[in-house]
Each structure stands twice: as structure tokens, then as C-alpha cells.
Structure 1
Amino acid sequence: MTAPTTLTADPRHRLEELNRRYAVELRFSEVSAAGGGISGLVAAIADLTANPVWLIDPQRRVVSRSMHARGSDFRPPAVDELLAHYGPVDLAGAQPILVPAQPALGVVRRHLLMPVRRDDCLFAWLVMAEVSGRFGRDETALVNRAGFHLASEYAVQRRVARASWNARATLARQLVRGHSRDDDIADAADYLGVQADADRVLVYIGDSPGVAAHDEEVLASQVATDLGVEVLATRGREGMILLIEAPDSEVPVAFVHHVKRAMRRLLASVGQPDTTVGVSGVTRPAGLQRAYRETREVVLCVDRFARTTERVIAVDDLGPARLFVANGDLGAVRRYVQDVVGALLDGGPGTSDLLRTLQCFFDTGRSVRESAARLGIHENTVRLRMAKVHDLTGLDVASDANDQLSAQTALLVLRLEGHPAIPAFDERHAFVVGADRGKDSA
């Protein structure tokens, strides 16, 4: 049943009870006015009762608790178990709930449960256990008013957090647009505790039915926790933008790889692994506007051509050819691929080896030696294969810059489409990261 909070009928007792309730109300008001916050209110409740109290959030984590009341060393009460023993609960009334002791069911003492809520939002449960003093009107009234003041404090903190988040989102937009005064951006960043001149990786998450419905604040918080860095977030025209601060201690190429893996984990956790994501390189503030355009081009490329599960791709994975692939006519792009490397796509003997060698040649910066080491073949074999490519396609990728660009563009489309002879983007990335680390250690 719901615990009563009415006053006694006896005039003298009623006056005493009113004075006690006034003192309780005054104490809570003083704590709130002094900025004591949620923990301060719980401490005030603990001072006003001999019984232990806990504040437990909807995820059943203890937010705060009494520290000195006898019995406060008890394990936190199981809210779900108490509510189950009580029966159906109507939260609309927001009144204390008295759960009777039921030793046979494992509830060895009475509890008062107060939903801390405002409008349709349940912030927490305030729970008091009957340990050192029997429940009466005073205890019930205390829990009732405590619940009201706690709900007010939660509502204020939610508004402050929302205002802070809106300010951070505005700062993110200003950094990406790049047309605000530098001193204005610096002042806003200082106020928010954000380093305005930090290098960042820009992540563009294309809209999808599942991800678009998620709060940017929640996703940004998850990425920040995963990577252990500052993350700003805002909305773009057709998706979400994350600005992820790059640590000075990280090799840029390696950090981009970490960001890609973090984004895959994030999308898997929200049940949207097929969402398309473009990831920039580590970028100075002045380059974020360009990084935004480039990551949107990545998303367009993936959405138009990708037939594999690889949906989180970096700008550097695609290179400058992404501009043509993202914006060219679909039919024209496919005909272009056929015109350039069609002779290697007929499934003839050795053509898969030629394609893979050609891709490896570009992935290693057109190095015959590194290509041979990566493929596990002799350097002369690489040269012979490149000569065979020249014979079949007319492409002189060893010395002609135009042929190099043509081949790289065609290979990019094949890679997006998941051609079995072309290694996945992350396979190339692992090689580049390893090479970069080798240079640092040399």
C-alpha cells in the first residue's frame, strides 16, 4: 500500500508535527540553495533519520547513501525484488510506497520506496529500511519531501547538462564551418573546458533509420569513454559529426585505425553495423571544413558501391579518386573500371594475382621491394607481374602518372565492391600502421 502522509487530528500533536515538517522543509531548502546537490540532500536525509537510506538509479546503481546511520553497512536493497513483492505500482501519484516485511520471501524488514520523478521521467528510487526506528508519519513525510527536492535537483541538473551539451554542439559546428572569429571560438572553448587548437579526427556518420534516432550526446559519450579522449558532436545535413581529439602521444595513422575500430564497436552496440561512416585523418582546426567534405565523399562512395560489410572507411583509404567515385554517374564509373582493368577481370589464369599485386604496389607507395615482402614473393616476380599488367591493359603504372591515377581509381571501385582479389581496407591499414610504427622505433 502507499504510505499515508496526513497529519494527526490532535491539535497539539498536529502543531508539533507541522513544526517538524517545517524544519525538514527548511533544511532541504537550505541544502539546495547552498548548492549541496544530490549528495548533499541525501546527507541531509541521513541526518534526519536513524534509519539507513539509499538513492538508487534506474540501472540499480547506488548514487548516494547514508554513511553513519546504524545499519547503513547493509547491502543495497534490491529495488526490483521489493517492487515485485509489493505488486503493481502507480508512479503517477509519486507517493512513498510501504513494502511490508515478508521473511518467507526474503524481505526481512519493512522498506519505504519513493520514486524520484518529474513529469514522465524517473530519475531514481529513494529507499529507506526500517532498522533503527519504526516507520511513522514523520519518516513517511521525510521520504516524501526528500523525493520532491531530489526530483527538483535532478531536473535542474538535466537542464544544465542540456545547456552545456547545446553549447558544445554549437562549438563543434563553429569548428567545422570555420568562419567564426578565432577569438570567439577560443573563448567558447575555454568556457567549456575544451582545447580549441587540438588536432582532431572528424567522423561523419551517415543517417540511417536506426542511428538517426539516437541522441548524439549518448553516442559521443560512448566513443569518448571507449577511446579515453574528448569528443564533440553535432548534426550535419545528412548525418552526425563527431570531432575526436587526437592525443599527442599517438601516431596519427594508428589513431585513425583506433577510431575506426571504436566506431565499429559503437555501431554494433546500437544494432546498426551497416551504417556508413567516413573517418578523416588527424586534422588541424583549420582543416576541419575540408575534412567534413572529404568524409561525406567517403560516405557517398560506400553507399554507392560497397557490397561488403566494411562500412567504416577512412579518407586515406580511398585517396583523391573518391571525388570521381562519389560524384560520377554510376554507369560511367563502372564502364570506366571495365575500360581500365577489364582485361584483368575475365577470370583468366593468374589475373587474380595480377590484381592483388597491382593493389599491393600502390598500397606500399609503388615499392617493388615492399610489395615483394608483403606478398611473400621475389622482387623479380613483382616486376614480371607489373609487365604482364602493362601487356594486358596498356597501363604503365611504374612510370606514368596518368596510368597510375587511372589504375588506382579502378582498383578503388573494385575494393569498395569487395572483389576477392583485392585486400580489404583494414588489411592495408594494418600494414601502414606497422610500417609507421617501425619508422618511429628506428
Structure 2
Amino acid sequence: MPGSPSWAPAASTREYGRYSDMRTRNGAGHSSLHAAVTALLDLSELTADPRVLAGAVAAKFKDLVQVDRCAVFLRSAADEYRVGSWAGRRDYTSHLRGMVNGHDPFTREILERREPVVIRDSRTDPRVAQHLETTLRCDVRSMVGVPVVFGGQPSAIVYLDDEGTPTRFSDVQLDTAQEFAALCGLLLGRRREDTRSASRPPADSPRNLELATENLGRLAQRGATLGEFASAVAATLHRPVAILDSAWREVATARPPQGLRRPVGRLSDPLVRAHPRVAEALRHVATGETRTLPPLPPVGLDLRCLITPIPLGASPWGQIVVHEAGRPFDEFDRQIAGNAALRIGLSLSTAHLVATTPAELREALVGDLLCGRVANDTLDRRLEIAGIADGPHLVGVFSTLSSKTAADQGRRILDRLAPDGSALSTEIDGQLVGLIPLPPGATDGADTVEDLRGAVDAHTRRGADGEPSVIGVSSPVTGLRHIAKAYREARHVVGTLRRFANPRLPRVVTAGDIGGGLMFVSSADPADMETLVQEQLGELRNTRHARLLATLRTFLRTGTVIRCGHVLGVHENTVRYRLAKIEELTGLSVVGNPDAQMRASLALLVLRLRGDCEWHDPAA
């Protein structure tokens, strides 16, 4: 046929006679056509809803042409064709909702020829190659596309197939389809003006836009949560909505009360964002442009997406993503999404008046958390806005043994510890303070501390510039509401390290490593600490009493004579003899005497910090 591609089948379907493995069916007679049209006319008198009429058309098409399935794609104002109804044993159109036909080779050929066009094998035919993923999901093998024309213009396209079965469509079937399509064109064309959905008022109504904008403005003024913004946009547009921060973390989602319930695809997935077409669109979004993504079923995006950046200073804070469920996008959608983005940006900027970028917003919140300046009733909203996940955390304070700063070293160590950027930091009083999240299920933070030590060692092996950093780490807290307490604890740890200035101590020291004597060693006068050591330990500091000192240390750690002997590998009577000798030399009777145990523990802690004995108990 003139104008057809070289690989296209001839107009005559008799060419398919040589495919003997395909099923052949006969079409309906003219009496059946007449009855079908009469039934549709009767239905059109009862309803003007184009989707109800399209559903009836699909059912009649399926029965007349004698196939398993039929899908009717209706034409939008933008000359795009989207699925409007279906008929078959089961609803297979969930995979078709994101398809935008009208520009692919198969649809173009249907529209150009204005007659049925056959695909004998959808898995190999290049005309449907861009929809291969969808045809495989729907189990389409052979199919025929039929244009529904009214007034010289196509108003719909009908796709017919037998589920999972190659079919040889007969001339009678194709003639029946073409004749019925012509009659349906008259019916659907007559109702064309009624095709606007009644789900919301027309998009070009200034009053509707004004009301929606006023509602978004009220949300911004009262400091609404991002979830409330998402719900308002979803209810206004009758579409699923997601709000993502600058790291593409999904911080709020919403769906309309009566709307699509199946998954719509997630731009928070790095594999989705890595797709070339997605990556290209997101590059424009990063510069502040609004972009529309086409459906990409291979990566799970079955619907078109309208992506609008949320402004905050010189760079977007994040983006609001609207999924095209149902009717096609129009100017009303773009205006509402744009207004919502502006109002969210306004709300974000007032959350902390000095923050003008997403990074500054997070850093400001971290500083407020550490200094206890966040009220409990506003914490959740500020965490949501900053994109910070609540949960168990450690606090680490990065410093040096002198007055030099370790901020740059600290940032590099945190980057190595948490490449995903989950460890946040800020500078307070010249020291870098890091919020280090614990992995899911972790409670004691031991593994995270070991990872931190590994990051410090790796940084040191790379030849770190400047004076080596020391890091004071807090005990873990269950949530960010308690982070100010953890910061005070970590600050006491690093202050203790700087007071004793012992370069032989570990680079990473936790509050648990120091124990209950932390407040004493971080604040007591050095002369008082020396007096304590002399009075409590006396002769035990002599190297010839090293075994006795080790026994005392292990006993204080284990708590009983029996456990102490087990750890040291000696008989319990040997432990009792050594403890008696300690009492003879120092006057300390530590068995069953909590006060003596506390004084001995503090004296031993001072020795450890000064380097007069090993930091870790060798018997541990």
C-alpha cells in the first residue's frame, strides 16, 4: 500500500492465510451489527458518560468480531490516545493505564490508513517495539487496531486480540470491525462534547484555581506538614502525589479518597532515576524547571509524572511529583503543582529564617537539636522538612588534643562512615559534631562505633593532614528528642581526652569506655585527681605490684571472686589472697564494699587516662 513502511503487511489480510498455526474466526452478520448499534443507541439515551458508552462499545466489539479481549483508547484534546474501557475475561488494563498512544508506529499507521491494521506477532514486530514490556505483561500475541472516525477525525482506537494466542484474523472479521467502528464513530462523536470528566470542575475555571491556591496558602501560613500539603494536592487534582527531598527520599505521599490504588512507580528508587530518559528530565528539574516524564513500564513507571521543583533559595529543596491517573494532564494540574511547590518552599523557609538552602536547613536543625532548642511539639515537622529520619543515634564530637580544629578531618571521616549522607554534622564552638544513625535493630551502637574506628584508621592510612583528630562518642539514645543529652555526654568525653592529652589513648573513645567516672575526670582539679590516686592505690602503682593491680582491675570489672578467678585463669583462693594483699598495701577492702570499689575504680580510671596502665584490661 502506498505510504506504508517496507516491513508493513499488505492491506489485504489474505496474506495471513499461510500461517496455518493461527486460529481463524468468522465475523458477525449485518443483522448482528444492526442489533448492536440499536443497543448502543438505547444506552446513549440513558447516559452521556463517554466511559460507560466506551465500555459498551468494547463489549459489542468483542462479541461481534469474536475475540477474547477488546480495549478502547479515547482521544484527548492533546491528540493522545489513552485507555478508556475494556472487555474480556478479566481486567488487563492495569498495565495499559500509562500508555500514551498516538505517536508510535503502529498507531500512526492506523490513523494514516483509516482502516484495520494487523500485528501478527507483537513480540517481534518493530511497530510495537516501544510497548514490548506492556504487551508481554498483557500476554498479547496477535492483535488488530481499528480506528473509530467521526467527521473525518479519529475519536478512538480499538485494539482487539485473543489472550496469549496467535490469531489469523479473517477478512470477515476485519470487515465487521471496520463497519462497526464507522457506526460507533457516529455514536461517540455525537457525545464528544460530554467527554469532560465530572470528577472536578473544568480546569479553566479561575474560581477553582483561586480556591485551591487559597487553601494551599492557609496551609503554608499555619506551618502544615508535608503530608498535609500532599493530601491537599491529591484531593484537588484527584491524582496520587509524592513529595521528595533533594536526596530523592520520599517524605510524604497521598492519594485521592476515590482513586487509583495500585503502585504508581517511585522516583525514590535509584534504579528508576538511572534510566537515561529519567536522568535527562531530572537534570532539568535540578535547575528549577518543571518536567513531565513519559510512562516507562520497564522500570516500574506505568503512569506519566509531572515533576515540579520546590524552591528554597538558590537550589530546589526537593520536588512534588503528581502521577497521571485517569484524565490527561492539563494546565490546571501544572498551575496547582506549581502553586503547591511555591507554598511548600515558603513554609520551609519560615521553619528556620536563616536557612536558604536544603543543606543549611538540615544543619540549622542539627544545631538546634544538639543545643536543645527544638520543642517536642514542633520536632516532627522540622524533621520531616529537613528530611532527617528519627531513631537511635550516637553523637560524636571531633577535636584534637590541642586547640586546633578537626572539622575537615571529621567531615571526611563521616563521609567514609556513611557514604549515603545519613550522618549529619554541624560546627559548634569550633568543634565538629556529628549525628550518627544506628542501623535498624541496633541498640547498643557497638558495631557502629567499630565502623567509626575503622573509618578513622582508613583515613589515617591515607595520610591525613594536620594533627590527628580524637573523637568523643556518646552512649546511644533512642530518638532525636534525647540528642542534646547525648551531645553533652560526648562533649565531656572529648573534653576529658583533651585534659589528659595522652597521645597513646585510642582515637575514638566512648562514654561507655570511661564509665560512671566521666563527670569526675572531665571536671575535677588535676591535683585532686593525683591525690585520689595516691591515697587509694599507693604502692600498687609500683611495677612490682603489676599483678595485684591487674587483679584489682579485673575484680572491679567482673564483680565476684569466682568470675575474677575464671577470667584470670587462677583459683578463687588465689584471688582472695591477692585482694587481701591489696588491702594490706592500700587499706582498700573491695570485697562487699561498694564505697571502696567506687574509689578504686575512679583511681584506676585516672591511671588509664594518664597512660600509667593499659587502656583496655588485658584480661578482658
Please tell me the residue identity of whatever aligns with 1:360: T
Among 522, 533, 543, the alignment partner of 1:347 is: 543
**Partners of 1:248 and 1:234 in 2: CA distance:** 24
Q: Which residue of 2 aligns with 1:102?
A: none
Q: Quick check: 1:174–1:180 contact (8 Å CA) kept in 2?
A: yes
Q: Quick check: 1:211–1:272 contact (8 Å CA) kept in 2?
A: no
**Partners of 1:401 and 1:293 in 2: CA distance:** 27
Deviations 1:35-65 (A, max 9, x none): 2559x9xxxxxxxxxxxxxxxxxxxxxxxxx
**Partners of 1:253 and 1:357 in 2: CA distance:** 29
**Partners of 2:557 and 2:370 in 1: CA distance:** 30
Structure 1 residues 415 and 380: CA distance shift in structure 2, 3 A? same
Structure 1 residues 416 and 290: CA distance shift in structure 2, 3 A? same
Q: Which residue of 2 aligns with 1:279?
A: 473
3-state DSSP of counterpart to 2:476: strand
Among 425, 428, 448, the alignment partner of 1:236 is: 428
Q: Quick check: 1:306–1:418 contact (8 Å CA) kept in 2?
A: no
Q: Which residue of 2 aligns with 1:385?
A: 578
Q: Quick check: 1:361–1:371 contact (8 Å CA) kept in 2?
A: yes
Deviations 1:312-350 (A, max 9, x none): 2111111221222221221221122111101201333xx
Q: Which residue of 1 aligns with 2:524?
A: 328
Among 409, 417, 422, the alignment partner of 1:223 is: 417
Structure 1 residues 423 and 376: CA distance shift in structure 2, 3 A? farther
**Partners of 1:229 and 1:373 in 2: CA distance:** 45
Please tell me the residue identity of whatever aligns with 1:174: D
3-state DSSP of counterpart to 1:398: coil
Deviations 1:139-185 (A, max 9, x none): xxxxxxxxxxxxxxxxxxxxxx9922222211212222233122432
1:292 is aligned to 2:541: no
Identity %: 28
Please tell me the residue identity of whatever aligns with 2:520: F
Structure 1 residues 271 and 346: CA distance shift in structure 2, 3 A? same
TM-score under structure 1 length normalisation: 0.54
After TM superposition, the runs of 4+ consecutive aligned structure 1 residues lying more than 4 A away are 31-34, 207-211, 215-219
Structure 1 residues 297 and 363: CA distance shift in structure 2, 3 A? same
Alpha-carbon shift at residue 232 of structure 1 (Å): 1.4
**Partners of 2:542 and 2:396 in 1: CA distance:** 37
**Partners of 1:193 and 1:426 in 2: CA distance:** 42
Structure 1 residues 377 and 272: CA distance shift in structure 2, 3 A? farther
1:424 is aligned to 2:619: no
**Partners of 1:346 and 1:215 in 2: CA distance:** 39
Q: Which residue of 2 aligns with 1:214?
A: 408
Structure 1 residues 263 and 289: CA distance shift in structure 2, 3 A? farther
- Larger Rg over CA atoms: 2
**Partners of 1:398 and 1:423 in 2: CA distance:** 23
Q: Quick check: 2:413–2:455 contact (8 Å CA) kept in 1?
A: no
Among 347, 362, 365, the alignment partner of 2:556 is: 362
**Partners of 1:357 and 1:392 in 2: CA distance:** 14
5+ long unaligned stretches in structure 2: 1-279, 290-354
**Partners of 2:445 and 2:553 in 1: CA distance:** 19
Please tell me the residue identity of whatever aligns with 2:438: A
Q: Quick check: 1:344–1:392 contact (8 Å CA) kept in 2?
A: yes
**Partners of 2:380 and 2:532 in 1: CA distance:** 47
Q: Within 5 Å, which residues of 2 pair with 1:80-91? A: none
Among 297, 305, 312, the alignment partner of 2:508 is: 312
Q: Number of aligned residue pairs: give it.
A: 270
Q: Which residue of 1 aligns with 2:284?
A: 35
Alpha-carbon shift at residue 253 of structure 1 (Å): 5.1
TM-score under structure 2 length normalisation: 0.40
Deviations 1:293-316 (A, max 9, x none): 222221222222253142321111
Higher relative contact order (CA 8 A, sep 6+): 1
Structure with the largest fraction of helix: 1
Alpha-carbon shift at residue 397 of structure 1 (Å): 1.6
Alpha-carbon shift at residue 427 of structure 1 (Å): 6.0
Q: Quick check: 2:407–2:431 contact (8 Å CA) kept in 1?
A: no
Q: Quick check: 1:256–1:281 contact (8 Å CA) kept in 2?
A: no
Q: Quick check: 2:473–2:511 contact (8 Å CA) kept in 1?
A: yes
Q: Quick check: 1:204–1:239 contact (8 Å CA) kept in 2?
A: yes
Alpha-carbon shift at residue 250 of structure 1 (Å): 3.0
Structure 1 residues 217 and 314: CA distance shift in structure 2, 3 A? closer
Among 359, 367, 381, the alignment partner of 1:165 is: 359
Deviations 1:329-384 (A, max 9, x none): 21221122111101201333xx10111111122223x1333322322222222222
1:195 is aligned to 2:389: yes
1:246 is aligned to 2:442: no
Alpha-carbon shift at residue 399 of structure 1 (Å): 1.6
**Partners of 1:255 and 1:241 in 2: CA distance:** 20
What is the aligned-residue RMSD (CA, Å)? 3.1
Q: Quick check: 1:279–1:314 contact (8 Å CA) kept in 2?
A: yes
3-state DSSP of counterpart to 1:277: strand
Among 388, 392, 395, the alignment partner of 2:588 is: 395
Q: Within 5 Å, which residues of 2 pair with 1:73-84? A: none
1:255 is aligned to 2:447: yes
**Partners of 2:411 and 2:513 in 1: CA distance:** 28
Alpha-carbon shift at residue 412 of structure 1 (Å): 0.4
3-state DSSP of counterpart to 1:383: helix
**Partners of 1:35 and 1:330 in 2: CA distance:** 61
Q: Quick check: 2:416–2:455 contact (8 Å CA) kept in 1?
A: no
3-state DSSP of counterpart to 2:604: helix
Q: Quick check: 2:392–2:476 contact (8 Å CA) kept in 1?
A: yes
Please tell me the residue identity of whatever aligns with 1:297: H
